Amino acid sequence: MITELHCHTTASDGVLSPPALVELALKKGVEVLAITDHDTTDALAPASEAAAGRLELWPAIEINCSEPGPYEVHVLGYFIQSDHPALQEALSKLREARQGRIGRMVANLNRLGLPIELSDVQKFAHGPSLGRPHLARAMVDRGLVGDVNEAFDRYLALGQPAYEPRYSLRPREAIAVITAAGGLPVLAHPGLIGTDQFLEGYVEAGLRGLEVYYPMHDPDQVAELLSQARRYGLLATGGSDYHGPGRSELGQVQLPPEALAALRAAGGR
Ligand code: AMP
Ligand code: ZN
Ligand code: FE
Ligand code: FE
């Protein structure tokens, strides 16, 4: 069964609208789709309407969290009750903080001598969840950088001169709110963040899975993550983190059938 369990739409920082993403998924033969937009579940209804039963759509979310250090830690939630009040309240607070933060980053860029305005960024944001990729695309559009990667590497990434922190949840808080909404909290792309030191604490807080299969995880990382998943009794998940043409292909990452079956069972599907 072909799956795509990690991808983004225009509701957050993906480039395809929810219906367009569903059509692409169908074209790629995807049978189970989970849209994991950052801090919003707005894609779910239009995607579900577009799918019209042609594929299985799992309600999901990705919450970008932080740890002092600082680290960016992303927590995925599968099978969430998307209209859960505590979840929606938390997400709406996070989206509000995203707006203010991008405003501060635009000001930082201006101080660095780069001419760009919030209205430039808004041209690239078609949904409720504003992110650095929208700012990066606006910078490319204005000819300030050659591509999105350069925007992150020189200005926007953690540690770069235009970076600004924002209010975010600690991973254990995201784990709690996803659990309260009936979802399964999963640590996203652990290989990118070096979260080994935190893992035990997350498991104690209720983490249920690790995103073992991911485009940027090499075979050694996959093996290490599988062994961690076994050690802590965690589910193994995987997805492409598709945002649009470029970094990865929709449906590029598949999980072994037994991992999919375990995830389904844990989610009561
Ligand atoms: P934000 O949600 O505003 O903190 O932005 C984080 C998002 O930016 C991540 O979820 C990625 O989708 C994206 N991102 C991070 N680093 C890069 C990069 N080097 N190139 C392109 N996109 C990136
Ligand atoms: Zn993203
Ligand atoms: Fe992520
Ligand atoms: Fe993602």
Residue with the smallest CA separation from ligand 1 atom 13 is: 133
241 Cα–ligand 4 center, Å: 5
CB 98 within 8 A of CB 130: yes
Give residues whose Cβ lies within 5 Å of ion ligand 3: 74, 188
Residue with the smallest CA separation from ligand 1 atom 2 is: 131
Residue with the smallest CA separation from ligand 1 atom 22 is: 133
CA quadruple 183, 184, 189, 191: dihedral, nearest 10: 150
The torsion angles phi and psi of 174, rounded to 5 degrees, stand at -65, -40
The angle, 0 to 180 degrees and rounded to 10, between the axes of the packed helices 85-111 and 132-141 is 30
Confirm or reject: Cβ of 64 under 6 Å from ligand 1.
yes
CB neighbours of 95 closer than 8 A, spacing ≥ 6? 39, 40, 128, 129, 130
Residue with the smallest CA separation from ligand 1 atom 11 is: 133
Confirm or reject: Cβ of 244 under 6 Å from ligand 1.
no
pLDDT given at position 194? 81
The predicted model scores a pTM of 0.96
pLDDT given at position 57? 98
The whole-angstrom separation of Cα 222 and Cα 225 is: 5
Residue with the smallest CA separation from ligand 1 atom 21 is: 149
Tell me the CB-side half-sphere exposure of residue 258, using CA atoms within 13 A.
Answer: 1
64 Cα–ligand 1 center, Å: 10
Give the mutation target among 6, 9, 12, 13 for probing the ligand 1 site: most ligand atoms within 8 A of CB: 13
Confirm or reject: Cβ of 208 under 6 Å from ligand 1.
no
Residue with the smallest CA separation from ligand 1 atom 14 is: 133
CB neighbours of 19 closer than 8 A, spacing ≥ 6? 46, 47, 49, 50
pLDDT given at position 65? 96
pLDDT tens sequence for the chain (269 residues): 999 999 999 999 999 999 999 999 999 999 999 999 999 999 999 999 999 999 999 999 999 999 998 899 999 999 999 999 999 999 999 999 999 999 999 999 999 999 999 999 999 999 999 999 999 999 999 999 999 999 999 999 999 999 999 999 999 999 999 999 999 999 999 999 887 889 999 999 999 999 999 999 999 999 999 999 999 999 999 999 999 998 899 999 999 999 999 999 999 99
Confirm or reject: Cβ of 99 under 6 Å from ligand 1.
no
Cis omega (within 30 of 0) on the bond before 256? no
Q: What is the DSSP string of 212-228?
A: EE-TT--HHHHHHHHHH
The whole-angstrom separation of Cα 53 and Cα 46 is: 13
8 Cα–ligand 3 center, Å: 10
